[in-house]
Structure 1
Amino acid sequence: MPLSQTLLTRIALDITSGLSHRDRFARLVDTVKANLGCDAAALLEFRDRHFVPLATAGLAEDVAGRHFAIDSHPRLEAIARAGDLVRFPADSALPDPYDGLIPNQEDRLHVHACIGLPLFDDEKLIGALTLDAFDPQRFDNLGTMELRALGALSAASLKNALLLDKLERVSLLGQGSREANNDSPPMVGNAPVMESLRQEILAVAGTDLNVLILGETGTGKELVARAVHQASPRAGKALVYLNCAALPESVAESELFGHVKGAFTGAISHRSGKFETADKGTLFLDEIGELPLGLQAKLLRVLQYGDVQRIGDDRSLKVDVRIIAATNKDLKQEVLAGRFRADLYHRLSVFPLHVPTLRERPEDLGPLCGHFLEQSRKSLGLSVLRIRPDALSRLKNHDWPGNVRELEHVIKRAATLARAASDDGAVMIEPQMLAIGGQSASVPVQSPAAVAQVEGKNLKEATDAFQAAYISQVLSANRGNWASTARALGLDPGNLHRLAKRLGLK
């Protein structure tokens, strides 16, 4: 269907209507997909050599969390380098980043017709609009001038959204602040509770208030601490991390405040503490609820007077440090129980941030899966890594007591097992590969070569051959690491070593 002036006018009215950016972008791609006969359409923002999905239509829900590095996706790199729209030949040798990511198309995994519209703000690349279809001739009747007009409308909408976001940041953070560093890991998810958290982060980042981050284990408290620091005026200085739970009490004071040579047995030289290292920057005290009471009093003094004293030194050093603390404990209850100082609690909790559990944001599970799938795809050197819809459904039915961290581990473990079961670079995660809810993961051995190894053997010989082939596959997937292989197979490491020796693998 050709692009008509009426359709372009409707798109222009849609993207200038009084909707949120996200709703406006969703309406844009839905309209484009419906009227141009696409099997999939996507609006992407270009950020630090990555294309980040802002809205998609016709694509799997995990695509929303995949940040596509152009160095890993040659078709997207071609769009990024082009100064104009790109029509890819139906027989293009460049893999499409959406191959296998269009639902309900199990027999047609490879996209054939593809157009990429790079979006510019003046001469700066800010994004792309992609159109994909399985029919190789689907876009043949789309005129170049009309497609350019569609790209111009999309670019204008994206440009305005980015400008408004920037103005909002300046308003909340102040003119002297810096925007978040692109090296910061992304906070994936658009659930209302996550949008509220982002607004709270922006609100406090431009101040020097102490921040207390509260949340269950695995919710991403360190990620929130990084976001606060990197959106603050201190972003150009150090963010120093200290895990209070991992500190033996005997060395905790030295870690925090430093010591001078000869201050105690083993102090063979001067050493700066975390406060000195974080001067003019931010000190992130993780698991603050585990800090011994004696050190709590000394930490309170630093917060009150802004000076530290090294162990064995009579002099005080002035420091300018912002404190961000985090805990999975209920510090109010810890105060009542006498395990945490009330005065320190009130000093730290000037601006509390609650990080939601995964149970509070179920709509983010798909994008989070996509984020971890893309990470695993790159780390395992795969061309394609997908997850079956029934496997994704199984993930949605789990209550995730370990939150996002648990999901990350499940996806990465399943990706490793899926690679072991695959004969090529296109890998699919099956439901049985997911170790959740106390169940072990398993990998079906699908290679014809593995089956051929057991033909013509008696049961014991066939069993040994199968075990040897299977262990070798999983060992290869874990890059020769026997401990990781034992975990993937659900075996005791000692038993695995003995079995591997008996099978002649060691």
Structure 2
Amino acid sequence: MFAKPLLTALLPLVSDLSRDLPDQERYRRLLQAMRSLLPCDAAALLRLDGEWLVPLAVDGLSTDTLGRRFKVSEHPRFQILLSRSQPTRFASDSELPDPYDGLVNTFEAGLEVHDCMGCTLMVDERPWGLLTLDALTPGQFQSLELDALQAFASLAAATVTVAERIENLALRVETEQQRAEVYRQVNDQHRELIGQSPAHKHLLEEIRLVAGSDLTVLVTGQTGVGKELVALALHQASKRADKPLVSLNCAALPEALVESELFGHVKGAFTGAHSERRGKFELADGATLFLDEVGELPLSVQAKLLRVLQSGQLQRLGSDQEHRVDVRLIAATNRDLASEVRNGHFRADLYHRLSVYPLQVPPLRERGRDVLLLAGFFLEQNRSRLGLDSLRLSAEAQAALLAYDWPGNVRELEHLIGRSALKALGRHPQRPRILTLDAVDLDLHIASAIKDHSPDIAGIKALPLPEGGLREAMDTYQRQLIEECLLRHEDNWAAAARELGIDRANLSRLARRLGVR
């Protein structure tokens, strides 16, 4: 029944295996081909990373899905799919919650997934991830043959294998060190450097470039951009990754204790020093030391830090004995240290010693649609924390996040999502299966927040609030955004849909509702 269409869909993908394509493009083509053969409303490719499933590509799902991280133990459908070697089709009336409820790109009232099927991808005879299909129409998958999905699963596994081998070959040629790893845990939490924007990709390339060396790195950027995660990525991609990353927040200690924390002390060095203690430098011997907020160090301590960096030798507080250490230093600050030097608040020689390789972390407002991926990550965290089946953003809420200027960067976004989810849940007398955050829940001042420097809304000026209120304001914003995007792509609706991160059919429906030509 599917032989000829299946062959037609598979042949271009087989041809892609011999081509040097970006991973995202490989996976996007795979999902599009699958949807052309197996009609569905959404498809996803997810990679298994320990106890988490990480979406690598989605088609028909909201952009923020790419930022979500699904804990397998919290999603029974994923558990079932991973436990079976053959494709699985769930009954339309299955009571198991679907991870994609509320995430399928649709502007209709029905948000819940009714039909779901998927299968495990096996690479080197081990489960590598999942391929999933979902439909909003009950019974849509009942007539489909699972053999077709199995064929795509086999090709998906081949695609993944090719992508990984190409990457491994490139790494062996370029460097002996591993590429900066993105999917790592920090403090027992699944935390990542999430993003796909050009600014974020440039940052990852800089990390990859310098991580394998022992150069001192000065990580700069505004408060809340994730400088500590950059430091972690640098350490994990270094030759010292098998050793601990020792960290010290220089702003969190009284001035009298900073020197002891850095260099250690001997018994009786000061009141309360009842025993000998090693400092952070000795603890990081052979490893990496991360000094956060290094601009807060007192001038007296800066001189001693400079000496250790120059000679590799230190003295514990109250001792004359020298200790030699081998430490790779990563420092971070949200201050303009060059200005601090000019104002006499920071030593020029220490500044030059720290900034051997300066690394600037971009603010969130310069990262375009990355805000939606990051929002998805925090939405999934809060969905689990609040015990919800689904936590999603409305189209208006997504537009609001894109329009906001984010003075507090990623940290502000994290707190905003947590606060908004809690407040929105509190308005419901009964716990809903799907909780949707609207623009009003986010409490962002959209009209004043729209900036023409944002890459996602280029050319759009701040709009006065229409008489119709927030709903009309958001419709006006979306209409203008779609028209600008179509103009850039010369009325190519498929290209516009890809840039906006939504399905083409959904873009057409939204455009008709908004009266876009």
- The TM-score normalised by the length of structure 1 is 0.82
Q: In structure 1, what is the equivalent of residue 390 of structure 2?
A: 384
Secondary structure of the corresponding residue to residue 151 of structure 1: helix
Q: Which of 212, 216, 221 is the aligned partner of 1:206?
A: 212
Deviations along 1:89-117, one digit per CA (max 9) or x if unpaired, are 22222211111111225432222222112
Q: In structure 1, what is the equivalent of residue 500 of structure 2?
A: none
Q: Which of 158, 161, 164 is the aligned partner of 2:163?
A: 161
Q: Which of 27, 30, 35 is the aligned partner of 1:28?
A: 30
The verdict on how the C-alpha distance between 1:284 and 1:37 changes in structure 2, with shifts beyond 3 A counting, is same
2:142 aligned with 1:140, yes or no? Answer: yes
Q: How much has 1:173 moved relative to structure 2? A: 5.0
Q: Which of 73, 77, 80 is the aligned partner of 1:78?
A: 80
State the one-letter code of the partner of 2:322: S
Q: 1:484-503, aligned counterparts within 5 Å? A: none
Contact 1:15-1:25 within 8 A present in 2 as well: no
Choose 1 or 2 for highest CA Rg. 1
Aligned partners of 2:26, 2:17: CA distance in 1, in Å? 5
Aligned partners of 1:244, 1:396: CA distance in 2, in Å? 34
Q: In structure 1, what is the equivalent of residue 494 of structure 2?
A: none
2:288 aligned with 1:282, yes or no? Answer: yes
Contact 2:221-2:227 within 8 A present in 1 as well: yes
Q: 1:169-184, aligned counterparts within 5 Å? A: 169-174=171-176, 182-184=184-186
Q: In structure 2, what is the equivalent of residue 242 of structure 1?
A: 248
Aligned partners of 1:384, 1:235: CA distance in 2, in Å? 37
Secondary structure of the corresponding residue to residue 192 of structure 2: coil
Deviations along 1:454-494, one digit per CA (max 9) or x if unpaired, are xxxxxxxxxxxxxxxxxxxxxxxxxxxxxxxxxxxxxxxxx
Q: In structure 2, what is the equivalent of residue 42 of structure 1?
A: 44
State the one-letter code of the partner of 1:91: D
* Greater CA drift, 393-402 or 331-340: 331-340
The verdict on how the C-alpha distance between 1:204 and 1:315 changes in structure 2, with shifts beyond 3 A counting, is same
Secondary structure of the corresponding residue to residue 241 of structure 1: strand
Contact 1:172-1:202 within 8 A present in 2 as well: no
Contact 1:172-1:203 within 8 A present in 2 as well: no
Aligned partners of 2:72, 2:243: CA distance in 1, in Å? 30
State the one-letter code of the partner of 2:125: E
State the one-letter code of the partner of 2:321: R
Q: 1:178-327, aligned counterparts within 5 Å? A: 182-184=184-186, 185-327=191-333
Contact 2:180-2:208 within 8 A present in 1 as well: no
Secondary structure of the corresponding residue to residue 271 of structure 1: coil
Contact 1:42-1:131 within 8 A present in 2 as well: yes
Secondary structure of the corresponding residue to residue 52 of structure 1: strand
Q: How much has 1:127 moved relative to structure 2? A: 1.7
Q: Which of 104, 107, 117 is the aligned partner of 2:106?
A: 104
Aligned partners of 2:115, 2:401: CA distance in 1, in Å? 32
* Greater CA drift, 92-101 or 169-178: 169-178
Deviations along 1:370-428, one digit per CA (max 9) or x if unpaired, are 00001111122222211222122112211011111111110110111122123125222
Secondary structure of the corresponding residue to residue 25 of structure 1: helix
Contact 1:180-1:230 within 8 A present in 2 as well: no
Deviations along 1:42-88, one digit per CA (max 9) or x if unpaired, are 11111112111111111111111001111111111111111121111
Q: How much has 1:304 moved relative to structure 2? A: 1.0
Secondary structure of the corresponding residue to residue 149 of structure 2: helix
State the one-letter code of the partner of 1:197: L
Aligned partners of 2:302, 2:69: CA distance in 1, in Å? 41
* Greater CA drift, 331-340 or 172-181: 172-181
Q: How much has 1:19 moved relative to structure 2? A: 2.4
State the one-letter code of the partner of 2:258: A
Aligned partners of 1:379, 1:23: CA distance in 2, in Å? 34
Aligned partners of 1:142, 1:234: CA distance in 2, in Å? 51
Q: How much has 1:40 moved relative to structure 2? A: 0.4
Q: In structure 2, what is the equivalent of residue 473 of structure 1?
A: none
Aligned partners of 1:166, 1:370: CA distance in 2, in Å? 29
State the one-letter code of the partner of 1:310: R
Q: In structure 1, what is the equivalent of residue 489 of structure 2?
A: none
2:426 aligned with 1:424, yes or no? Answer: no
Contact 2:177-2:239 within 8 A present in 1 as well: no
Q: In structure 2, what is the equivalent of residue 87 of structure 1?
A: 89
Contact 1:358-1:404 within 8 A present in 2 as well: yes
* Greater CA drift, 164-173 or 105-114: 164-173
The verdict on how the C-alpha distance between 1:30 and 1:424 changes in structure 2, with shifts beyond 3 A counting, is same
User: Runs of 5+ in structure 1 lacking a partner?
Assistant: 440-506
Aligned partners of 1:367, 1:179: CA distance in 2, in Å? 18
Aligned partners of 1:103, 1:227: CA distance in 2, in Å? 33
Q: 1:441-452, aligned counterparts within 5 Å? A: none
Q: How much has 1:181 moved relative to structure 2? A: 7.2
Aligned partners of 2:234, 2:116: CA distance in 1, in Å? 40
Aligned partners of 2:62, 2:179: CA distance in 1, in Å? 37
State the one-letter code of the partner of 1:47: D
Task: Tell me the number of residue pairs that the alignment of Structure 1 and Structure 2 aligns.
Answer: 439
Contact 2:180-2:234 within 8 A present in 1 as well: no
State the one-letter code of the partner of 1:30: Q
Contact 2:88-2:118 within 8 A present in 1 as well: yes
Q: How much has 1:176 moved relative to structure 2? A: 8.8
Aligned partners of 2:312, 2:173: CA distance in 1, in Å? 29
Aligned partners of 1:37, 1:332: CA distance in 2, in Å? 58
Contact 2:369-2:402 within 8 A present in 1 as well: no
Secondary structure of the corresponding residue to residue 100 of structure 1: coil
Secondary structure of the corresponding residue to residue 289 of structure 2: strand
2:345 aligned with 1:329, yes or no? Answer: no
2:376 aligned with 1:370, yes or no? Answer: yes
User: Runs of 5+ in structure 2 lacking a partner?
Assistant: 448-517
Contact 2:178-2:237 within 8 A present in 1 as well: no
* Greater CA drift, 367-376 or 132-141: 132-141
Aligned partners of 2:178, 2:184: CA distance in 1, in Å? 18
Percent identity over the alignment is: 50
Secondary structure of the corresponding residue to residue 132 of structure 2: strand
Deviations along 1:199-238, one digit per CA (max 9) or x if unpaired, are 2112211111111101111111001001111121212222
Q: How much has 1:143 moved relative to structure 2? A: 2.8
State the one-letter code of the partner of 2:29: R
Aligned partners of 2:404, 2:245: CA distance in 1, in Å? 35
The verdict on how the C-alpha distance between 1:273 and 1:295 changes in structure 2, with shifts beyond 3 A counting, is same
The verdict on how the C-alpha distance between 1:47 and 1:390 changes in structure 2, with shifts beyond 3 A counting, is same
Q: In structure 1, what is the equivalent of residue 463 of structure 2?
A: none
- The TM-score normalised by the length of structure 2 is 0.81
Q: In structure 1, what is the equivalent of residue 130 of structure 2?
A: 128
Q: In structure 2, what is the equivalent of residue 9 of structure 1?
A: 11
State the one-letter code of the partner of 1:434: L
Contact 2:291-2:332 within 8 A present in 1 as well: yes
Contact 1:44-1:127 within 8 A present in 2 as well: yes
Q: How much has 1:13 moved relative to structure 2? A: 2.6
State the one-letter code of the partner of 1:428: T
